[in-house]
Chain A
Amino acid sequence: MESFFTRYRNPLVLLAILLAQIIGLAMQVHQTAAGRTLDPSDSSSVRLIRLWAEMLVSPPERAIHFSKTGAGSLWQNYLDLRHVRQQNQDLQRTIDRLRLEQAALLQDALQGQRLQALLGFQQKYIYQTLPAQIIGSSGSDQSRVFYIDKGSADGLQHDMAVITADGIVGKVRDVFPHTAQVLAINDPTSGAGVILETTRVRGILRGNAYGQLEIVDVMADQRIKPGENVLTAGGDQVYPRGLPVGTVQKIVPDPDRDSFIDVLIKPAAALDRLDEVLVITSTQPRFSPQDQQDIATSQALKGAEAAAAQDQQKATQGMNDRLPGLLDPSLPPEQQPLYDTSNPNPVAHPPMPLHPDRFTPGTSPNTGAGDASTPEAAGSASQPSQPDKSGLGKPDR
C-alpha cells in the first residue's frame, strides 16, 4: 500500500488538487430556468478567497499607482503652471456661459419637475458622489473588472453606479474594506438599460468579446443612424436616467436572428484610459445642496440676462408664428417660393381696355405730357402687358 502511494505520488496529488477545484467550481454554478449561471453573489468562502487575493495584491498596486502619480504630478504641475493664466481666463468664460445656460434652463427644469410630480413620476438626480482612483485590474481580458481605492469603509455598496464626467463606466460588483471591484460596462456579463436620444429606441447595453459596447435585442429600425447619442434609460435600478453612454458607431445585423440588429456604440467615457472615477453613492428625487447652490448663484448672476434673452426669443417666435414667412426655412435658397419664376398660374392682371377711357389710369385720351410723367402713367405706358408681380392689380372703376 505504501509503495502504491509512493509510486503514484505525483498523479495522486494532481488528481486530489483537481478534484478539490472541480468540487469548488460545482458549488459556484447554479442551474436556473434560463440555464446554468454563475452565482452573482459570491458565497462566504469564495468571498474570503477574493478578499485574500485582493489583500495580497492591492497594497503593492497602491504603492505603484501612487508613486507613479506622485512622480508624474511633479512634472505635470510644473507644466500646468505655465499656462494657468490663460486656462483660468478660458474657464472663467466657460463658467459665465454655463451660468447663463443654467439660468435659462432653470424654468424649464422646474416646470418639468412639476409635470413629473403631477404624473406621479419621480426623476432621480445624482445627489452625492465619491471620487475614487483606479489602482488595478483583473489582469484578464475575459474579465473586464477593475479595482478602485475606496471600499465599504468609505460608504460604498453593491450595484452603485460608477461614472466619469463624460459618461457611465460600470457598477460596483464587490466591496472590500478599503477597495472595491467595479464591473465595466464593456464586459459581456454586464448590462444596462439604455435609450437612443432621438429615435427613443430602448435596448440593453453589454460588452462583446472585443471589449466593444453594443445594444442587443433591437428590432431593425431604419431611423437609427451613426452619430446618435445613447443615454441611460434609468430602468435598471443602477444608473440614473439620462446619463451619457456614447454614440452610435455602426449598425450590424444580428447574426443569430433575422429582423434584429446589434448597435455598436462608441463609449463616451474612455474605458481603456481611466484614472479617476466617480461613484454615485446616493440618488434623490431632488437637487443636491451643491446643485441648489449652483443654481441660486447662476440665477443671481445671470438670471436677468437669461430672462431678457428668453423674452426676446419668445417675442421673435411669436412674430414668426403670426406673420407669414416669405422664406421657407426648410427649403434651399434656389427653391424658395419668393424667387420662383416657374409658376404656371400667376395672379392675373386686369385686362387692358379696348378703347381709351377716362376711368383707367394712364389711358385717358386727354392725358398730356405732364400726366405721363406720373409714376402710374409711366408704368402703364411703358409696361402695358407685364403682369403685376406683387399680385395686387388696381381694380377698374
Chain B
Amino acid sequence: MSLLGADYRRDLEIHRYPVLVYALVPLTALVLQAWLPRLLGRYAFFDLPLVVTVYFALGRRSPIQGTIMGAAMGLFEDALTHHAIGVNGIAKTCVGFIAASVGVRIDVDNHTIRLLLNFLLSLLSSVLFIFIYRVLLGLELEWLWFTELFRAIGNSVIALVLFPLLDRLQIRD
C-alpha cells in the first residue's frame, strides 16, 4: 500500500505536455542554437539543446526518456558540426540520464535547485565532451576553461527564464 502511495505521489509530480511541445521545443532549441551565434558572434555562451534536455529530463523523471532525449539532441548537434557524430551524443545522453535520476529524488520546481543543476550538468557535459574527444578518441581539441564556465553560467540564466515559460505548457488536471 505504501509502495502504491509512493508511485501515485510520483505520478502526480510528473510533468506532462502536449505531443506538439515534445516535437517543437527541441526543434526550436536546435534551430536557435544554430542561428543565434550568427547574431551574437563570440558571445554565444549557451547550449539550448542541453537546457531543454535537462528540463524534460527533470520534469518527466524518467531516466529512459531523459537518456533518449539527450542522445537525440546530442546527435543532432553533432550532425550540424564537422566533428565526429556521437561526441555530444554521449555527453548529453549521460546528462539526460543523470538529470532524470536526480529529478526522481528532489523537488525540481525549486528555482535554486534548477539553477544549480543546470550549472553543474553543463559543466559535466563540457567535461564529458572534452574527455571523449581528447582521451577516448585521441584527437586534438583546443578548448578554454573560461568558455566552458561562461557557457554553464549562460545555461543557468537561460534556464531561470525558460523553465517557468515551459511550465506554462504543462497539461494540468
Contact = CB atoms under 8 A, between A and B. Distances in A.
Contacts of A13: 63-64, 67-68
B141 A60 contact: no
B127 to A, nearest CB: 14
B31 A9 contact: no
Interface residues of B, number: 48
B34 A18 contact: no
Nearest to A187: B82
A134 interface: yes
Contacts of B90: 18, 21-22, 25
Contact of B83 (A18, A38, A49): A38
B93 A14 contact: yes
A209 B145 CA distance: 11
Interface string B119-163: 000000000010010001111111110010000000000000000
**From B42, B129, B132, B137, residue with most partner A Cβ within 10 Å:** B137
A25 B93 contact: no
Given A25-B137, A49-B79, A145-B82, A137 B143 contact: no
B34 A24 contact: no
B44 interface: yes
Interface in B1-43: 27-28, 30-31, 33-38, 41-42
Given A61-B34, A139-B80, A35 B138 contact: yes
Contact of B81 (A28, A36, A138, A211): A138
Contacts of B132: 25
Given A10-B97, A13-B64, A17-B67, A209 B143 contact: yes
Nearest to A174: B82
Contacts of A314: none
B116 interface: no
A4 to B, nearest CB: 16
A35 to B, nearest CB: 7
Nearest to A173: B82
Interface stretch (B51-59, B69-77, B105-113, B165-173): B69-77
B80 A54 contact: yes
Interface of B: 27-28, 30-31, 33-38, 41-42, 44, 63-64, 67-68, 71, 75-77, 79-87, 89-90, 93-94, 97, 101, 129, 132, 136-144, 147
Query: 10 closest Cβ contacts across the A-B interface?
Result: A53-B79, A143-B81, A209-B142, A139-B33, A10-B63, A21-B86, A272-B41, A36-B138, A25-B86, A138-B81
